[in-house]
Amino acid sequence: MTGRNELVVRLGRAAALSLVAGTVGGAAILAGQAIVARSRQYAQPELGLALRATVGRAGAPPLRLVLLGDSSALGVGVERFEETIGGQLAHLLAEGPAGRRVQLSSVGVSGSRSTDLATQVARALLGERPDVAVILIGANDATALARPTDAAAYLASAVRRLREAHVEVVVGTCPDLGAVRAVASPLRQLLAWSGRRVARAQTSAVLDAGGTVVDLAVETGPVFRADAGTLCHDGYHPSADGYRVWAHALLPAVEAAATVASRHH
């Protein structure tokens, strides 16, 4: 999702949107909640986490998997590789029916928005071409109250570039920001509304660009809202359990993409 500084800026912008609040009093409430959010300690990237790893038995069918996007692609909120979404996806693919040997890498950057994907795509395509790319993006676009169509256009451009390089692409859309506990109502509802707008725009744009979409808000939002344990200590980024929920939601699409990619070998 995002680091502390980026989140504070975005929450401040959200609080300033007095028209959404409807009244001066409502805007004051949003501003107050943004101030409270500033005092919270948010999870930061673990510099010791491996961004490259190989998972699976030797001799198994190889799969080069790259993650792009925001802090979700790095596993911010957890401390061990096995707990990150990349690590959990790699293990699920290695242990699945195809028994793949997954060569995992991540070019995600904490705090990224869709405008940052162009640089990440360039990094992802350096060296050996990946077979499957998983993009996790949108939360920072939503908290910045970016125009959904603009964010979706940048995402679609990234998907097209990867597809033109013969990489299968799976996009996890903006998660359910109404599930975060670091932000109180009504600011939380504002962010949830913004997130759904971003996710809807992402879905149509990605499909038009030739990618596959997994709506994380629809698929996993109810679980995150019901179980506080799906978030890490900051009440904003996923915990190991939260990343596991996301990994299982993404797995069918990633497995299907891997099957398609294997036919091109």
Residues serving a catalytic function are: 71, 234, 237
Q: Report how far residue 173's alpha carbon sits from residue 106's, in angstroms, rounded to the nearest whole number.
A: 17
Spell out a b/e string for 83-116, using b for 16 or more CB atoms within 10 Å of the CB, else e: bbbbbbbbbbbbeeeeebbbbbbbbbbbbbbbbb
- CA angle (182 as vertex; 3, 152 as ends), nearest 5: 55
Q: Report how far residue 59's alpha carbon sits from residue 101's, in angstroms, rounded to the nearest whole number.
A: 8
Token representation of residue 185: 């109502």
Classify strands 62-69 and 52-55 as parallel, antiparallel or unpaired.
unpaired
Classify strands 101-106 and 52-55 as parallel, antiparallel or unpaired.
antiparallel
Q: Report how far residue 127's alpha carbon sits from residue 209's, in angstroms, rounded to the nearest whole number.
A: 24
In 3D, which of 91, 99, 162, 172 has the Cα closest to residue 132?
162
Whether the Cβ atoms of residue 78 and residue 232 lie closer than 8 Å to each other: yes
Whether the Cβ atoms of residue 101 and residue 62 lie closer than 8 Å to each other: yes
